[in-house]
Structure 1
Amino acid sequence: MASGFTFGFSGDDVDIDESDPQFDGGDVQNQNQTSRNGEESQPLVEAKRWDGEEWLSTLPSQISYNKVSIPSSTNGGKDVALGRREVFDIRTQLMAEDDNDNDELISGLEEGDIKPNFYEGGFKTWECALDLARMMASEEGKELLLDNGSDGTDVHIIELGAGSAMPSLSIFAQLLSLPKSQSSRRVHFTFADYNSAVLRLVTVPNLLLTWKLNSHKEATTSTGPTAEQQAEEKKEEEEEELDIDPSLLDAFRTDLKDRGITIDFISGAWSPEFVELALTAQRDHEGRPWRTLILASETIYSPSSLGAFSETLLSLLRRCDAGGPTTGSRQTRGLVAAKKVYFGVGGGVDEFLAVLNEMAGEAVEVQQRVEVKTEGVGRVVLQVKMASSS
């Protein structure tokens, strides 16, 4: 399979009402063939790996965005700046494209409805994703950044149900804030979402925006930006609009290549085929040790999807541990951000833990890493990893 999105290597749309206990699920993957009202839903989309290069060419000449500031203890006390494309800008592009499927995507975007096996909520940013992004800016991200790659260990970050990809982008932004290293370490991101349209219209633009906010000054020229370029950059940031041209995209590709950052994308349902695609990068560089971090937020709301999600998570944990270092802090781990209970649909943390226990028993270890208490439903971040053999 051709390598994906290697870049030369070979306002506000957060819907949060913490007092509302009703369903506000997120990037969920409903594996059931029947929707909640009993009507037949769309058949599952098969997993597919994508080359993001072809998606870059579909971006308009200008996109509107807002900046999400994530508090950080690893960025010199400064907030981590993430770029997030505006929902109205996504809608504008969908309306301009001649695609019958876009009508239903626009409906889901405007009404916030999830249509099982068709649109899974990825156009919006959900509160648990921001919980996980904050954690990445203060804990796991720091651990990754402190690893200077002297032992040759590459890093693989896999985000399941990525959507706007705030958790992974929190790590991505911190990597961009570091000086370019002479280390041979690779950092590979795999962004997965049920909808390829979400990856194309949200995840890819957010990557470009986050790069622009964090490293564009270094990438502009070897001598730094001119006064004219500085004025243009300031105007763009004030207006929160990004002009996209070939020179910007070339600088993006070059900077990521120089930093050893590579990226690929996977759309479609969780499945054994999905797992194989997610590990493509590790197979392409067989013989090098990998350290893998799996991220997921708002993925356990529905009992009908818990089995497929849990099987996918456990399979990734087992496969990555078998192929890389497994001692100490280098053991593969998953971080799952979720509400404790999703009222009205039956999912939640207890149900997720029950499924994990049924599938893996004592072979899996689960630890609560973060708890967010609110007036409404509490939220947590769970760490999941395979139990040590010792």
Structure 2
Amino acid sequence: MESNFSFSFAGDDIEEDAGQQQSVLPLKKSPAQAAPSVSTTPASANAFPVQGKPLLPPAHHDLDHMLSRLPSKIAFGTLSVDLDGAGRTIQIPRRELWDVRVQLMAEEGQEEGESQQQQPGLGEHDVKTGIYEGGFKSWESSVDLVKVMAAEKIPHVLNRNPSVLIELGCGTALPSLALFQWALAERRAATSGRDKVPLVLTLADYNPSVLYLVTLPNFILAWALEQRGRGENPVLEEAFSSDEELDLTPEVLAAFKASLASSQITLSFLSGAWSPEFVELLYQSSFSAGLAEAAGDVNTLVIGAETIYSPFALESFAQTLLSILERERRERPSGYAAAIIGAKRLYFGVGGSLDDFVDRMEGFGASVETLHEEAEGVRRGVVRCLLS
């Protein structure tokens, strides 16, 4: 039996249309392919997993293969995040969901209605239990993480030593995209290649389709807009066919890869359920990619937003997070490892809560510090977890 549910909480949205209430940050909709509003179906108590249905096994996804699956053009919008209430903002691009639907219909040769039925996450439910974990939409706790990372000066920390950022349950990857933009700007200011240290960005989502349909395109968009702002790349100037579309020509994709290499930034993509096998694959495929020659002084930061929405999700996430932090302590004792997690204080009707997560991590021996609390609308918080 499948359980479909949504996180439909009044006051929990950044909404373009004041007449709607959503728990996600909305993207603009094309007139012909308007995204349906978030369902008000009550959340199921047995949110995850589905009895008798195997969870997706962990898998690593090659960047070149993912690039080969991209369409010739993508449409996008930008989300403006106020970082400090004093006018400092960051513009984070996101591929439009209607554009994702267009790609899927072209690939599958289906009508829109058929495509929505067969592709979880593009219909009325925020989460389709055991099948789709919400990655096509952006959640408010991910914006909280962007603000906290800016306040904690995380971009500067991760650019001082060889570093790893792991976003578990990345989806549209707003926090990682913000860090990526900051890293590009800081590395551009470096005077030589020797001033740049390796940075591995590991993006993990339960669904492979989320990674290639929104996560990777969002990184290309973030890079392209940063480059366009400098006005030094004629290939990109021609690729922006409008202010809201980017042509993904072979020249653009080649320039994207070359920029990653020159900046010493590695993108790594993993899918599948959190598990010991997931952690093992993480260390086999992701860390070795950009840190093979790095010394022990490695900064590792794990981030996650809205990853603890049910007791099962909370337990599997906490166990996976603990495994990563313990492995970092064991294998890189001279390095630094921490986790910054954003979530709602309580997921009504589902059973997960930030307090339960804090209790679980403290039960594992971790120290937990509150970095941010949001009292307006549905209450949310951001905490940092460390192992002594």
TM-score by length of 2: 0.80
What is the aligned residue count? 344
Offset of residue 322 of structure 1: 2.3
Q: 1:98-148 deviations in whole A, cap 9, x for unaligned? A: 399965454532203422221111000011111112222332434326x44
1:23-70 Cα offsets, whole Å, 9 max, x none, are: 9599xxxxxxx9549974631011111102111111111111101223
Quick one: which of 251, 255, 269 aligns to 2:255?
A: 251
In structure 1, runs of 5+ residues without a counterpart are 1-13, 27-33
Which of 310, 313, 316 is the aligned partner of 1:305? 313
Give the equivalent residue in structure 2 for 1:262: 266
Amino acid at match of 2:184: L
Secondary structure of the 1:131 match is helix
* Change in 2 beyond 3 A, CA 1:17/1:66: farther
Residue in 2 aligned with 1:332?
Answer: 337
Q: 1:292·1:333 contact (CA, 8 Å) conserved in 2?
A: yes
| Cα distance in 2 for residues equivalent to 1:165 and 1:191 | 8
User: Structure 1-normalised TM-score?
Assistant: 0.79
1:85 maps to: 95
3-state SS, counterpart of residue 385 of structure 2: strand
Alignment of 1:167-186 (within 5 A): 167-178=175-186, 179=188, 181=190, 182=193, 183-186=195-198
One-letter amino acid matched to 1:213: L
Counterpart in the other structure of 1:53: 64
Aligned mates of 2:387, 2:261 — CA distance in 1: 33
Structure 1 pair 288–38 and aligned structure 2 pair: CA distance change class (3 A): closer
* Equivalent position of 1:343 in the other structure: 348
Query: 2:128 aligns to what SS in structure 1?
Result: coil
Matched, 1:188 2:200: yes
Contact 1:340 1:378 in 2 (8 A): yes
User: Do the aligned partners of residues 46 and 229 (structure 1) sit closer, same or farther apart at CA in structure 2, a change above 3 Å counting?
Assistant: closer
Tell me which of the two structures has the higher relative contact order, counting C-alpha pairs closer than 8 angstroms and 6 or more residues apart: 1
CA 1:107–1:270 in structure 2 vs 1: closer, same or farther (change >3 Å)? closer
Does the 8 Å CA contact 1:16/1:126 hold for their aligned counterparts? Answer: no
1:103-252 map, 5 Å = 103-104=116-117, 106=119, 108-144=121-157, 147-148=159-160, 153-178=161-186, 179=188, 181=190, 182=193, 183-216=195-228, 224-225=232-233, 230=237, 232=238, 236-237=242-243, 240-252=244-256
| Aligned mates of 1:162, 1:123 — CA distance in 2 | 10
CA distance in 1, matches of 2:262, 2:115: 37
- Alpha-carbon distance in structure 1 between the residues aligned to 2:257 and 2:55: 33
State whether structure 2 residue 295 is matched by structure 1 residue 288: yes
User: Given that residues 78 and 91 in structure 2 are in contact (C-alpha distance below 8 angstroms), is that contact kept between their aligned partners in structure 1?
Assistant: yes
C-alpha distance in 2 between matches for 1:210 and 1:38: 34
* Counterpart AA for 1:127: E
Cα offset for 1:216? 4.1
1:18 aligns with 2:19: no
Q: Helix, strand or coil: the match of 1:110?
A: coil
Deviation, 1:276, is 1.4
Task: Measure, in 2, the Cα distance between the counterparts of 1:137 and 1:36.
Answer: 33
Structure 2 unaligned residues grouped into runs of 5+: 1-6, 14-20, 26-44
Separation (CA, whole Å) in 2 of partners of 1:186 and 1:352: 32
Q: Which is further off, 111-120 or 202-211?
A: 111-120
3-state DSSP of counterpart to 1:109: coil
The equivalent of 1:378 in structure 2 is 379
Partner of 2:31: none
1:354 corresponds to 2:347: no
What SS does the aligned partner of 2:123 have? helix
Q: Give me the whole-angstrom Cα distance separating, in 2, the residues matched to 1:71 and 1:139.
A: 15
Note the C-alpha offset of 1:213: 1.1
Report the AA paired with residue 197 of structure 1. Answer: S
Please tell me whether the aligned partners of residues 207 and 272 of structure 2 are also in contact (alpha carbons under 8 angstroms).
Answer: yes
Which residue identity does 1:174 align to in structure 2?
A: W
Contact 1:275 1:312 in 2 (8 A): yes
Change (3 A) 1:325 1:69: farther
Deviations 1:70-111 (A, max 9, x none): 3347xx975322210011111111222239996545453220
- Report sequence identity in percent: 37
Separation in 2, partners of 1:357, 1:44: 27
- How much has 1:320 moved relative to structure 2? 1.4
